[in-house]
Amino acid sequence: MLPSTSDSHLDELWSCDTLDKASSFITSHSSPFLLHNFVGGMYSAPHNSSASPSQHITSFEPKTGRPIYTLPCTQTDAVEEAIRAAKSAFPSWSKTTRAERSAILRRVSELLQENRELFAIWESIDQGKTLERARIEVDRAISNFSYFSTFILHEQTAARMVDGVALTYEHRSPAGVFALISPWNMPLYLLTWKIAPCLAFGCTAVAKPSEITSMTAFLLGGIFQRAGVPPGVINIIFGDGATTGAALVASPLINGVSFTGGTQTGIAIRRLTAHQIGKHLSLELGGKNPTLVFADSMEPSVRDRTIRVAAMAAFENQGEICLCGSRIYVEKSVYSDFVREFTAYVKQKYVLRETVGAVASLQHYDKIRKYLELAVEQKATFHLGSAPPALSENEAQGYWIEPTILTEVAKDSAIQIDEIFGPVVTITPFDSEQEAVQLANDSEYGLAAILLTTDGARMRRVGEQLEAGLVWVNCWLVRELGTPFGGMKNSGTGREGGEHSRDVFTVLRTLHLPAY
Ligand SMILES: NC(=O)c1ccc[n+]([C@@H]2O[C@H](COP(=O)([O-])OP(=O)(O)OC[C@H]3O[C@@H](n4cnc5c(N)ncnc54)[C@H](O)[C@@H]3O)[C@@H](O)[C@H]2O)c1
Ligand SMILES: O=C/C=C/C=C(\O)C(=O)O
């Protein structure tokens, strides 16, 4: 029998604002705590989910391998119920004024701020990331709400007179009910990056976090209740992709999908919605991002910055950020210096269990481990890290993988081609600027690129040739929430951020009024 989400359990959960309290919450229950869906402004079990244990999923703590909670794998009829709640809430929410929506979203950001530590602690436990990293991500979730709460207040529509014949203006209205689906690497950060603009622009939603990291999405329901978000405006349901996610995106009542996750899932979502031409699709998918290190960036005055940026881009959040630079290319004249200094820096700065967390799941641990075994087989050089122990040895102790730096990896090796999405980088030399661009672009992906150089002309010349939606020069993951965010090629379609999010969540009509 699974413990249910009773009020006393919920109160207890909300008081877990230290690691010790959260840990004793987990151990004090004989079986894992059961998350409930948040539908129509209330927590409730999907009525069909208690029927069979096979319709529940257990989530494990990456740092220890112990079970922490259970979630329902919401079945089609309960998914539809959540969509209907969002659809019923749409007419009145879409007619609220911008000032009303702004005030509610502002309140959400304030409540998140008040509960910052609680969210950071559960994010760290659930995902495996360090508490320090989790705090950074909760801060970004707070900004997601505060940013869009003010963005909508300043929007203006321009009107034009066309040749004295017609007065035209663009009219936008909320696009309807959205499916918001997020992955496990930055759970709260990425889900709120969708929820905040969706609600700000007057849409309603059914959100589904990853089945691997559902805890902070579960807590978020309580924040929406307290902030006074009207029932049904935002619904949060739990479950896997094949059952819950697929039923959600395919529903004809869903007007748009904002999805972040793997490229193969993006393809599946395209297929599932292919016959629904008008459905808005924003797909943020995988990456295998290049970091280009030019010789000038290893001059004494900037050398430390170069090493620091390349290392941060490689190993932040255990390399589990779609924007991580996992293919490092270095100009031949500074190649051996870079490899030596980069390795020394990473060894000292990215220490497992201190500044590097565990990877998110056993399945992901296994996937990364297979690439490391391939590296051993292909006789790559390990400057740092090694093939980790066999699966069974780590299952009970958590999913730990040392930061790993590899050289002598062939261009056509799966290690260079596939998105590993873990703390593993390859370093490869290049001879010329032209070769660097060609190597960087030699990928099915086109999400991000990192360019390390002091030459201003090269910043633009190379930057403008890189097949990547986001290019960072001498920095990484510097974000301003109005800038377009998204990828090229198999890294996705659509852009989000500021007015680009507005394009995702609104429909546009042009009105022509006679000028006479
Ligand atoms: N571009 C980005 O911003 C970005 C960010 C983070 C992760 N990623 C990618 O995500 C992958 C790892 O995350 P993941 O394993 O959670 O990705 P995933 O694609 O397996 O899952 C992402 C989400 O989609 C759901 N899902 C799965 N199948 C579905 C379906 N058929 N229909 C609807 N929803 C479905 C999952 O339940 C989850 O909530 C990596 O490959 C990485 O490339 C991309
Ligand atoms: O892992 C993916 C990271 C995505 C980041 C964003 O969507 C963002 O910073 O807005």
Q: Residue 274 Cα, ligand 1 centroid: separation in angstroms?
A: 19
**pLDDT for res 49:** 46
Crossing angle of helices 19-28 and 116-127, in 10° steps, is: 60
C-alpha 257/C-alpha 182 separation (Å) is 11
Q: Is 245 in the pocket of ligand 1 (CB under 6 A)?
A: yes
Alpha carbon separation from 406 to 290, 327, 352, 375, 391 (Å, rounded): 15, 10, 17, 8, 21
**pLDDT for res 397:** 86
Six token digits for residue 214: 């559902």
Containing 504, the helix (H) or strand (E) segment is helix 498-505
H-type helices in 61-97, by residue range? 76-95
Containing 471, the helix (H) or strand (E) segment is strand 470-473
User: What is the arrangement of strands in the sheet containing 67-72, beginning at the earlier edge strand?
Assistant: 33-34, 67-72, 56-60
Residue 421: is it exposed, middle or buried by C-beta count within 10 angstroms (0-12/13-18/19+)? buried
CATH topology of domain 9-285: Aldehyde Dehydrogenase; Chain A, domain 1 (3.40.605)
Q: Is 268 in the pocket of ligand 1 (CB under 6 A)?
A: yes
Catalytic status, residue 284: yes
Please provide the CATH number assigned to the domain covering 289-482. 3.40.309.10
User: What is the arrangement of strands in the sheet containing 325-331, beginning at the earlier edge strand?
Assistant: 381-384, 404-407, 424-430, 325-331, 289-293, 448-452, 470-473
Break the chain into its structural domains and give their ranges: 9-285, 289-482
pTM over 0.90: yes
**pLDDT for res 31:** 80
**pLDDT for res 3:** 45
- Measured from the CA of 185, which atom of ligand 2 is nearest? 1
C-alpha 261/C-alpha 210 separation (Å) is 9
Q: Residue 205 Cα, ligand 1 centroid: separation in angstroms?
A: 18
Amino acid at 434: Q
Predicted complex: ipTM over 0.85: yes
**Per-run averaged pLDDT (10 residues), the chain, 516 residues:** 59 90 88 93 74 80 95 97 98 98 98 98 98 98 98 90 89 98 98 98 98 98 98 98 98 98 98 97 98 98 98 98 98 98 98 97 96 98 91 76 98 98 98 98 98 98 98 98 98 97 97 87
The set of residues, in sequence order, having a beta carbon less than 8 Å from that of 89 and lying 6+ positions away, is 204, 230, 231, 232, 233
**pLDDT for res 6:** 62
* Catalytic member of 61, 123, 211, 284: 284
**pLDDT for res 321:** 98
Q: Is 322 in the pocket of ligand 2 (CB under 6 A)?
A: yes
- Measured from the CA of 140, which atom of ligand 2 is nearest? 9
Q: Residue 83 Cα, ligand 2 centroid: separation in angstroms?
A: 26
- DSSP letter at 206 equals E
**pLDDT for res 392:** 65
